[in-house]
């Protein structure tokens, strides 16, 4: 199947989600369930990755700055901006593409293969709206929050390692955090977070919803969904940086 056919099917899937729900209470319950699954379920891995990214950023930045002319507070500025602009939104979402994307694709693929989706459609339920839309909406709610948490933990991880190793005392690090701070960087990171949230959920949902075959095809669809999501996230990262920065 060529890329244009897949893109057309993807657009039709998105279009099919926006119909009036049969039961708002049922949709609300599913949305809350997905928020717990995608948000709280990913909290641990996001926290671990964020802290270590911030810690490594401080160590490697300090390693590069050997000139006595440059004040050490610049290390904190670089860690702050790299974590906010790139590491927190992009690395976090690439990790979530593997964790969340494979889960969504395999879940929908299993429902398709076991004919659960067909049964729901026979009952008159719009499966695109009931199964896919709550996942995308939940991601748009929870993943930007996870990105904000990743920013905080990444900067804290860099500060903690700087203090423990003696590379950068916390007084100097704190001063560097507020020097030359650009609030637009946070806004830009959140724009990326919302864009990546849609990619992380919509693309795996497409591959899982349209899977054909058995367990082997479900595994292939999950792998294809994760790889495609990561590639599109990196491409969107470049496009957003070129347009908005």
CA–CA dist 63, 59 (Å, integer) = 6
pLDDT at 182 over 80: yes
pLDDT at residue 1 above 80? no
pLDDT number for residue 73: 82
Residue 112 lies in a domain: yes
Q: How confident is the model at residue 197 (pLDDT cuts 50, 70, 90)?
A: very high
Tokens of 171: 């007084």
- The per-residue pLDDT for 166 is 82
Residue 115 Rama label (left phi>0; alpha psi -120 to 50; beta): left
Look at residue 154 and tell me if it is in a domain: yes
Residue 15 belongs to some domain of the structure? no
For the chain, the average pLDDT equals 87
Neighbours of 113 (CB within 10 A): 18
Residue among 158, 143, 138, 135 at smallest CA distance from 196: 143
Q: How confident is the model at residue 198 (pLDDT cuts 50, 70, 90)?
A: very high
Domain encompassing residue 32: 22-244
Tell me: pLDDT of 188 over 90: yes
pLDDT for 67: 67
pLDDT for the residue 189:
93
**Which whole-number Å values give the CA distances from 45 to 82, 94, 95, 135, 196, in the listed order?**
20, 12, 8, 19, 17
CA gap 82, 210 in Å, rounded: 38
In a domain, 217, yes or no: yes
pLDDT in tens, 121-147: 888 788 888 888 889 999 999 999 999
Q: What tens digit of pLDDT does each residue of 74-117 get? A: 888 888 889 998 888 999 999 999 889 889 999 998 888 888 88
Contact (CB, 8 A) for 48 and 107: no
Structural domain includes residue 56: yes
For residues 53 and 61, give the distance between their C-alpha atoms in angstroms, rounded to a whole number.
12
pLDDT category of residue 148 using cuts at 50, 70 and 90: very high
Query: Exposure pattern of 44-59 as b/e (b: 16+ CB <10 Å)?
Result: eebbebbbebbbbbbb
Dihedral of CA atoms 136, 211, 93, 39 in degrees, nearest 10, equals 50
More confident residue, 95 or 19: 95
Report which of residues 47 and 67 the model is more confident about: 47
Instruction: Please give the span between the terminal C-alpha atoms of the chain, in angstroms, as a whole number.
Output: 36
12 part of a folded domain: no
29 vs 25, residue with greater confidence: 29
Within-domain flag for 71: yes
Q: Of 187, 59, 198, whose CA–CA distance to 142 is shortest?
A: 198
Asked if residue 2 belongs to a domain, the reply is no
Residues 37-64 have pLDDT tens digits of 888 888 889 999 999 998 998 888 888 7
CA distance 210 to 190: 30
The pLDDT, as a whole number, for residue 175 is 86
* pLDDT value of position 176: 84
Task: Say how many domains are in the chain.
Answer: 1
Structure tokens at 99: 């964790």
Q: Is the pLDDT of residue 210 over 90?
A: no
Alpha helix segments (H runs only) across 90-183 = 92-113, 116-122, 127, 133-165, 170-178
Q: Is the pLDDT of residue 66 over 70?
A: no
CA atoms lying within 13 Å on the CB side of residue 38: 31
């Amino acid at each position: 199947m060529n890329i244009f056919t897949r893109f057309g099917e993807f657009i039709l899937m998105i279009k099919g989600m926006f119909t009036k729900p049969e039961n708002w209470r049922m949709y609300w319950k599913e949305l809350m369930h997905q928020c717990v699954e995608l948000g709280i379920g990913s909290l641990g891995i996001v926290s671990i990755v964020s802290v270590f990214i911030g810690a490594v950023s401080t160590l490697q930045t300090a390693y590069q700055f050997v000139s006595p002319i440059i004040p050490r507070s610049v290390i904190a500025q670089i860690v702050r901006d790299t974590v906010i602009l790139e590491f927190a939104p992009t690395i976090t979402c690439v990790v979530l593409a593997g964790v969340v994307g494979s889960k969504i694709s395999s879940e929908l693929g299993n429902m398709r293969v076991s004919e659960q989706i067909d049964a729901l459609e026979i009952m008159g339920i719009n499966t695109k709206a009931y199964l896919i839309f709550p996942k995308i909406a939940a991601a748009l709610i929870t993943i930007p929050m996870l990105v904000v948490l990743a920013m905080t933990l990444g900067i804290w991880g860099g500060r903690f390692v700087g203090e423990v190793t003696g590379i950068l005392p916390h007084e100097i690090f704190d001063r560097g955090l507020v020097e030359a701070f650009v609030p637009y960087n946070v806004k830009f990171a959140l724009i990326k977070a919302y864009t990546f949230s849609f990619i992380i959920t919509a693309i795996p949902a497409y591959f899982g919803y349209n899977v054909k075959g058995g367990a082997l095809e479900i595994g292939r669809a999950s792998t294809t969904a994760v790889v495609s999501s990561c590639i599109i996230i990196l491409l969107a990262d470049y496009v957003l940086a070129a347009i908005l920065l």
